[in-house]
Structure 1
Amino acid sequence: MATEYGQGYGLGSGSGFPGHTGERHHRLPAGLRAPFEARSWREFGYVLVGLPVGILLFTYAVTMVSLGAGLLVTFLGVPVLAAALAGCRGFGAMERARARALLGLRVSEPEPLRLKKQGAMGWMGAVLKSGASWRSLLYAVLQFPWSVFSFVVAVNVWAFGWAMLTYPLWFWVFPMYAGQDGLQLYGDQTHRVYLDNPFEIAVTALVGLLFTLATPWLVRALTTVDRVMVHGLLGPSRLATRVVELESDRGVVVDTAAADLRRIERDLHDGAQARLVNLAMDLGLAKEKLKEDPRAAAVMVDEAHGEVKTALQELRDLARGIHPAVLTDRGLDAALSSVASRCTVPVRVEVDLAERPASAIEGIAYFTVSELLQNVSKH
């Protein structure tokens, strides 16, 4: 058996170790570099710390929830249960901090409590109705068995790998103190196999090296489950995240609408309104001179007629800025061509669309191009 193992791993050891010792650390492949990286040791530390933390969380959650459930027949049940859930939320914050420090996982805080009433009753009701509180309780229950499994697997694989890797350094303990030739690989009443000759010792060290190299990746796979649990149970829910996004989008829409209203008000005040005021004054003067100097009055009426045309054009431009009729009736190509025809610099319009987009998309494209062409004309 020892000979078969030696033939199987002898070629690998001959080609692997020179590369391992000859290259510098930063040039090593990720598989050889992983056991010495700080990230691997942080993840291993996360698994080690996870066991006592899991015991603490599970003990607290089961004890407090059981006590609160048992006291629900009295007035003390609800406060105890609310305190249990609040404590689980606090432990959830601690777990997010631990994941951030050791795993580099940044998870946002869950949605805050929504107090509908002030006082202790309002707080207890908010805690009991909060989905984040119950998710924190679920995390406390699930994290314990997973932390036990992760701890056992990670520690055993890590210890086995390093023990076998360093076997050439301590195999002498067996003949000196244990009364046997080496580490016993197999044994029954009639036959025993020991790892005692140099070839078998070298193969044992090579097997330990393989386990040592595989341990960081195994631990990383184990902590992936922890990442999923922390992110899914201790972070904000999808609904809460969506609500925050909608509130942000609503704020953007409100700000945009307010800016558009201010722009329309400014354009009316500076453009059409000013021209209409001048038009009223000109018509008043023309009315006064109509009997005294009909020729001068006719000239003033003619100028007022020109002002009316200009004011109408400005109102059309303003209405076009709100939503042009040509965009609704004829589409983006005709609307952009109309904008380009009024630009002071030569503009060529090319619109290549397989089908007409949604009206909102057309509006965004139209106003973007209009704003760009206006800036070109001004500057």
Structure 2
Amino acid sequence: MATEYGRGHEYGYGYGYGPRDGRSGPGTGAGVERRHRLPAGLRAPFEARSWREFAYVLLSLPIGVLMFTYAVTMLALGAGLLVTFLGIPVLAAGLAGCRGLGALERARARGLLRLEVAEPEPLRVRGSGLMAWVGAVLKSGTSWRHLLYAVLHFPWAVFSFVVAVNFWAYGWALLTYPLWFWLFPVYGGQDGLQLYGDETHRISLDNPFEITVTALVGLLFTLATPWIVRALTLVDRLLVHGLLGPSRLATRVVELESDRGVVVDTAAADLRRIERDLHDGAQARLVALAMDLGMAREKLAEDPRAAARMVDEAHGEVKTALQELRDLARGIHPAVLTDRGLDAALSAVASRCTVPVHVEVDLAARPAPAIEGIAYFTVSELLQNISKHARAGSATVDVWRSEDRLMLQVTDDGVGGADAGAGGGSGLAGLAERLDAVDGILVVDSPAGGPTRITAELPWRG
């Protein structure tokens, strides 16, 4: 079982790990792979996808003409009326119409190209009234990107329409030529499809060899056409995704808002855990210790031996309370991590694991303290999982730097089957959310029967 968590980003998959379950990425619309008897090149002309993409190219021409005409007309009219007050609302109305046409294009791409494009950021109207709306439309980068799409899409729609229709028409016409070449001598007064002719001679495709070669050429055109159309629609995908979807900045803002919520929730959960540990552990022991010392003081005069025994027991409680406080402090941020870095801190964690752990840290410098702390707690939690669930005989921890990324890998020879899909902010899923909050990635490879390999990737931020 291989599962990947976190965002892909531009740096996700260059280190020898990644999705291994055969699933496609988001937005592709691919499902479970099926085995076909015919190779892809032969079945492409008959696949539903090819016909959907061809229909998309055919519809692009009239829709492109409509969008281009509307955009240029409204832009020219608004610019021409700028000398009066009417130009600004006319221009805003034109941009709003382009946003509506962009919604139609996203729906068309979703239906025919199976391209999922998120809705762009909505208008942020500050205030009420017509002028507030006009100002929001004119200030919105999304509106201008929709206008740019309407202008750029038209020439590309013309080009793709001409290429696709010609290849499709000529391919099927030549492929089926053996079925209809008799029309020329019967109704056209010539032997067959004429390639060349002048006053002295003509070259027509009329003998069996030429007819067969024509059909073979048509077969090549027919087989190549779906791939040509697919290449043409690739440009359409880029245009729709780049100009009609949310901007990278807006997407990043949404991600950061989500990450901020995860960080706040995680910090609140840590505070509740610390409060619970203090209340149920050290605080309860200190309360009991205070009561014992009070009783010992009362018995000091009348029964010194009993008082001494109670003081001795209280001394043992003090040692236990101190150990609990040390463990709690280590759980918040261990001093060895601050003083000596990841190598010493992870070695200390590994020494407390129930199985032998080999730790290898290959870092020439230390990352940022926050990243170092996240790396420490990530390895600590993974080793706790090994102690509790893996039934392993040994484990290894490897830490290294790859360009501007801090890489962690924890492996064990246990039973495998780690449940990476457990939700609720706990376990591996919760760990993945914490890494994702700092642009990290968690990859779990844990087939049934083992071994388990968990790789974490963090930004360096030294």
SS of residue in 2 equivalent to 1:27: coil
Shift in CA distance, 333/133, structure 1 to aligned 2, threshold 3 Å: same
Shift in CA distance, 287/215, structure 1 to aligned 2, threshold 3 Å: same
- Give the structure 1 partner of residue 421 of structure 2: none
Matches within 5 A, 1:230-269: 230-269=240-279
1:163 aligns with 2:173: yes
- Give the structure 2 partner of residue 350 of structure 1: 358
SS of residue in 2 equivalent to 1:59: helix
Matches within 5 A, 1:181-330: 181-330=191-340
Structure that is richer in helix per residue = 1
TM-score, normalised to structure 1's length?
Answer: 0.85
Q: Quick check: 2:342–2:361 contact (8 Å CA) kept in 1?
A: no
TM-score, normalised to structure 2's length?
Answer: 0.70
Deviates more, 1:328-337 or 1:168-177: 328-337
Deviation at 1:373, TM superposition (A): 6.1
RMSD: 2.5
Deviation at 1:64, TM superposition (A): 1.7
Among 187, 197, 211, the alignment partner of 1:177 is 187
Q: Deviations 1:182-216 (Å, cap 9, x if unpaired)?
A: 22211233332222222222222222222122211
Amino acid at match of 1:285: M
Deviates more, 1:225-234 or 1:349-358: 349-358
- Give the structure 2 partner of residue 61 of structure 1: 71
1 CA distance for matches of 2:175 and 2:387? 76
Deviation at 1:66, TM superposition (A): 1.8
**Structure 1 unaligned residues grouped into runs of 5+:** 1-24
1 CA distance for matches of 2:37 and 2:152? 40
Q: Quick check: 2:299–2:307 contact (8 Å CA) kept in 1?
A: yes
Among 76, 84, 89, the alignment partner of 1:79 is 89
Shift in CA distance, 296/307, structure 1 to aligned 2, threshold 3 Å: same
Deviation at 1:56, TM superposition (A): 1.1
Amino acid at match of 1:299: R
- Percent of counterpart pairs with the same letter? 83
Number of residues paired by the alignment? 353
Amino acid at match of 1:276: L
2 CA distance for matches of 1:158 and 1:375? 59
Structure that is richer in strand per residue = 2
1 CA distance for matches of 2:178 and 2:226? 23
Deviates more, 1:42-51 or 1:328-337: 328-337
1 CA distance for matches of 2:59 and 2:332? 62
2 CA distance for matches of 1:376 and 1:182? 78
Q: Quick check: 2:181–2:193 contact (8 Å CA) kept in 1?
A: yes
Deviates more, 1:89-98 or 1:247-256: 247-256
Q: Deviations 1:116-151 (Å, cap 9, x if unpaired)?
A: 333333322222111111111111111111111111
Shift in CA distance, 348/161, structure 1 to aligned 2, threshold 3 Å: closer
Higher alpha-carbon Rg = 1
Shift in CA distance, 70/376, structure 1 to aligned 2, threshold 3 Å: closer
Q: Deviations 1:88-139 (Å, cap 9, x if unpaired)?
A: 1111111111111111111111122223333333322222111111111111
Q: Quick check: 1:43–1:220 contact (8 Å CA) kept in 2?
A: yes
Amino acid at match of 1:113: L
Deviates more, 1:91-100 or 1:296-305: 296-305
2 CA distance for matches of 1:33 and 1:254? 53
2 CA distance for matches of 1:305 and 1:223? 78
Deviation at 1:269, TM superposition (A): 0.9
Q: Quick check: 1:61–1:84 contact (8 Å CA) kept in 2?
A: yes
Deviation at 1:43, TM superposition (A): 0.8
Q: Quick check: 1:336–1:349 contact (8 Å CA) kept in 2?
A: no
1:30 aligns with 2:31: no
Deviation at 1:280, TM superposition (A): 2.1
- Give the structure 2 partner of residue 112 of structure 1: 122
Amino acid at match of 1:96: R
2 CA distance for matches of 1:279 and 1:56? 84
Q: Quick check: 1:272–1:311 contact (8 Å CA) kept in 2?
A: yes
Among 135, 140, 145, the alignment partner of 1:130 is 140
- Give the structure 2 partner of residue 13 of structure 1: none
Deviation at 1:372, TM superposition (A): 5.8
**Structure 2 unaligned residues grouped into runs of 5+:** 1-34, 390-462
1 CA distance for matches of 2:346 and 2:130? 62
2 CA distance for matches of 1:317 and 1:77? 70
Deviates more, 1:317-326 or 1:71-80: 71-80
Q: Quick check: 1:50–1:147 contact (8 Å CA) kept in 2?
A: yes
